[in-house]
Amino acid sequence: MSAIHIVRDYPHPPQKVWRAVTDPELIPLWTATGAGARPEGFATTVGTTFKFIAKPKHGWSGVVVCEVLEVREPSLLCYSWQDESGGEVTEVAYRLEPHGSGTRFTYDHTGFTGAGGFFMAKILGAVRTKMLTKGLTAVLNDLDDQGNLCPESPMGPKRL
């Protein structure tokens, strides 16, 4: 069985990181460095079914169907992950823990099987690494202490 395991340390408190990875308005900002997925119908409530919708690519509709399996705010979010056309159901987990004066974020995507799963894990792993290294770092740096986008941020509200 293949898996993706990524650990990143951020110089921000767990609540701020939690907001960045669970707020439907913020998620597309950091996933833009990958496939640019936006959540549709997402909530941090166990049993919630939702979709990640990204730009379609050759051989892929761009839609992934998910269900929230476990939540312990602000330390754990776990959800299922399945291409809308079917195939194996895998599982994604975000684990956040205080680390020094910041947060250690652990991303696990498990359940890939066979040769196809091995290659999918390799492809997705590279994309997720970029999103968590570049994309999420930029979003966290553009949030104020309350977790709101700073007005002067390139990602924030347009200035008048």
pTM over 0.85: yes
pLDDT in tens, 86-118: 889 999 999 999 999 999 999 999 999 999 889
Considering the chain, what percentage of its residues have pLDDT values greater than 90? 74
- 3-class SS of residue 118: helix
Give the distance, in angstroms, between the CA of residue 153 and the centroid of all CA atoms in the same chain. Answer: 21
Both tokens of 88, joined, read: 């194996």
Q: Which of 60, 73, 81 is nearest to 4 (CA)?
A: 81
Whether residue 160 has pLDDT greater than 70: no
- 2-11, 102-111, 130-139, 150-159: lowest mean pLDDT where? 150-159
When pLDDT is cut at 50, 70 and 90, the band that residue 158 belongs to is very low
